[in-house]
Structure 1
């Protein structure tokens, strides 16, 4: 399945770096999938740039301005999508100069420290994060892969992954239900990202993902 997706993406040449977003709710498996996809793409003749989404958070003062439990706060304030668009996606898009920010914010120090690089014109850029098809970003993706996972399964994965960081299973489950997955519920309702994606994958079983839809080259507007 990964080979099929990589082949379809490598065949796309929009005249600038191909900007590929890997979308899905929290716990959908985006990070693992994006890393595996980037590795497959690297076997093609195209240069591959895999951006780390942790470099595009807002500073803590903005991230938690509505409170640490706020679902709307996570949806609206967690990520610096304005910088992602202005400093990264637009320079890589039509008419861009190819000089892009590979990193804007340091999550550990909470410092805003943009780091820039220059992309080859024929590069494939992979970026994985939730909420990628919000209104302000949707036009900046050439292809969007949506990982479709049942809500219950996504919560289970998220709790297992973040239990230690969030203070144990019970605290992690509460955080997911109140903030993270609740924010994803807002996103699914307001943006219908599955319907807008150009590639849809059933990732309920990450060891055996199923390709449900491929319409590369068809703008998901």
Structure 2
């Protein structure tokens, strides 16, 4: 007997409804933690569409757009397997130009991308604003690391049932335990909500 599985759109609509139920007013920040930036980026795009269908303004930013310059990311003083976690991203810049101003609300302006990895240089700031009840989705690897944990209204871990790829991340973080929402994405076309609480 084939087991029934909800359609992808149903899962995304249910996640959007949960976020909006828990955060009915004001600006909301959602961290989407996933080991594969391409997969987490696609998930963020689809969740943003579900939020918009529910009547909320949804904005997407990618942690990959807040990387450090190549020379800092590839510091030979840091063991190669720890480089991405230790110095891959500029969290201070992310907070200063995006997260902090976004959460202030009002007409405060923010920037969605701070660094161009292809050109290995800072991006020219494109300041923008959003409505007072906008939802900001920020996706990428290490979204639940200690420096960012307090930045999210809620967080989603895109789970493959495997431990996080990066050992340094694993040493400081248990994303399955820390995330407010777990989504099994072993099959990205049929994501499944996981309820990991034990009552």
The TM-score normalised by the length of structure 2 is 0.82
Corresponding residue number in structure 2 for 1:159: none
- Residue 45 of structure 1 is aligned with which of 47, 55, 65? 55
- Residue 139 of structure 1 is aligned with which of 134, 142, 150? 150
Report if the CA contact (8 A) 2:41-2:62 is conserved: no
Corresponding residue number in structure 2 for 1:127: 138
Report if the CA contact (8 A) 2:62-2:140 is conserved: no
- For the structure 1 residues 94 and 139, does the alpha-carbon distance in structure 2 shift closer, same or farther, using more than 3 Å as the test? farther
Corresponding residue number in structure 2 for 1:185: 167
Instruction: Give the C-alpha shift of residue 211 in structure 1.
Output: 0.5
Aligned residue pairs total: 186
Instruction: Give the C-alpha shift of residue 94 in structure 1.
Output: 5.1
- For the structure 1 residues 58 and 96, does the alpha-carbon distance in structure 2 shift closer, same or farther, using more than 3 Å as the test? farther
Report if the CA contact (8 A) 1:24-1:148 is conserved: yes
Instruction: Give the C-alpha shift of residue 117 in structure 1.
Output: 1.0
Cα distance between partner residues in 2 of 1:27 and 1:52: 8
Cα distance between partner residues in 1 of 2:30 and 2:71: 30
Report if the CA contact (8 A) 1:24-1:146 is conserved: yes
Q: 1:78-93 counterparts in 2 under 5 A? A: 78-93=88-103
- Residue 183 of structure 2 is aligned with which of 192, 195, 201? 201
Please give the secondary structure, in 2, of the residue aligned with 1:125.
strand
Instruction: Give the C-alpha shift of residue 10 in structure 1.
Output: 2.2
Cα distance between partner residues in 2 of 1:151 and 1:203: 11
The TM-score normalised by the length of structure 1 is 0.75
Q: Which runs of 5+ in 1 are unaligned?
A: 155-180, 216-221
Instruction: Give the C-alpha shift of residue 67 in structure 1.
Output: 7.3
Instruction: Give the C-alpha shift of residue 213 in structure 1.
Output: 2.8
